Every structure is written in structure tokens, then in C-alpha cells.
Amino acid sequence: MKKILIGTHNVGKFRELSILVSKKTKKISPKILKIKSPEETGKTFNANAMLKAKYFAKFTDIPVISDDSGLCIKSLNNRPGIYSARWAKKYGSFNKAMKFILKKMSKKNDRSATFVCCLALILDRKKTICVTGKVKGSISYSIKGKKGFGYDPIFIPNTKLITFGQMQKNKKIKMDHRYMAFKKLKKKIKI
Ligand code: IMP
């Protein structure tokens, strides 16, 4: 693969996916092609990842990879889930959305949560691959760390004692839900 369009306007996701894709492959951003993001009308991570990849693929002949991801909190009926980005808009910022979550969680005993990522890769008109990666963890009692993006400062993966927001970027990238999905993708195709 000589080039790939990384179909996302999210800076954090773009950076993580760029690091995972082979160094030899040139990574193109939809910003360079002046393409906006589609509306996420799907009801699942899978449907939204496919919807985004198909949308971006209309503008180019090179392979496209898109991700739909989010934080599913068990005691909040798996919300924000596919609405993770939308909650940040709704409450004004990620910081405000995290504060809202922490307030809601103060009455809950079960703090378990899962970060989920669906990756959709469109190679050409005939070949599309979709995979899901997950990382299990729990919601911290406060916002901790300034690294990463989105909900990283309130998510503690099960194998660690610190939040994703406190973790070195290269460490988080090698253990998160996108990485897990990417590992599955790599078993199916050289990317
Ligand atoms: P969407 O896939 O564009 O709907 O956006 C997913 C949202 O989930 C992002 O904007 C983040 O808020 C959140 N999210 C997804 N992956 C991560 C992650 O690795 N760390 C922190 N937040 C994430």
C-alpha cells in the first residue's frame, strides 16, 4: 500500500492511526483533500465506521481507513458509547462531559467501562474489512492526566493503575482499543 486516506478529522485518532500504519505508506488527511466528515447516522460502532469509510472513499481511489470509537460505561447503560463525541458537544467540551460522567458515577458502585473501536478499511470497490477492538477498564474518581485526548483522563485500563491521560502516548497507543482492532486488521491484510 503506497498511500492511505485516514478518514477522520479527530487529531488524536489521526495521530494514533498514522503511527500504526506502516512507515512506508503515505498518510493522507481528509483536511488536505478539503473533505468534511459525514453525519454519523448509524446505530452501532460498526455501522458508523463503515459509513465514514464509504463516504471518504467516494472522493478517492486510494485505500481508506475510518474508525468509530467511544467509551461504554456499564452502569450508564453503555453510554456515551457511539455518542462519545456528541456528549462533548452537548455538554460544551470533553472536560465538561467528563465532569458530568463523574457526577453520575458518584452514585454507582460498578465503575467498569470499555473503550471500543471499529475500524473499516476499504481497499477498493470489491474489498472492505471491518474489525472491532476493545480494552476493558474502569472510570477514575477524578480527571487525571493531560496526555492523550477525549475521555483518556477518566479511563484506567484494567492492567494499569493510571489513566490513559497519565500514560506516555507511545504506551497508550500500544494497548488501546484502536491498537487491538488494528492487530486484527493486520492478521487479514498487510497495512
Ligand atoms: P467518533 O468515533 O468520531 O464518533 O468519536 C469518538 C469519540 O470517542 C472521540 O471524539 C473521543 O471522545 C472518544 N474516544 C475514542 N477513542 C478514544 C481514545 O482513545 N481516547 C479517548 N477518547 C476516545
pTM here is 0.96
For ligand 1, the distance from its centroid to the CA atom of residue 189, given in whole angstroms, is 25
Each residue's pLDDT tens digit, 80-100: 999 999 999 999 999 999 999
For ligand 1, the distance from its centroid to the CA atom of residue 129, given in whole angstroms, is 21
SS3 128: strand
- Cell numbers standing for residue 86: 456528541
Q: Judge whether residue 110 has pLDDT over 90.
A: yes
CATH architecture for segment(s) 3-188: Alpha-Beta Complex (3.90)
Mean pLDDT, the chain, as a whole number? 96
Residue 54 CA to its chain's centroid (Å): 17
For ligand 1, atom 23, the nearest C-alpha belongs to: 150
- Cell numbers standing for residue 154: 477518566
| Residue whose grid cell is 447503560 | 77
Residues touching ligand 1 (Cβ under 6 Å) are 10, 40, 68-71, 84-85, 88, 115, 148-152, 164, 176
CB atoms within 10 A of CB 167: 22
146 near 123, Cβ under 8 Å? no
Catalytic positions: 68
Each residue's pLDDT tens digit, 29-76: 999 989 999 999 999 999 999 999 999 999 999 999 999 999 999 999
Q: Judge whether residue 125 has pLDDT over 90.
A: no
Between vectors from CA 173 to CA 163 and to CA 72, what angle results, nearest 5°? 55
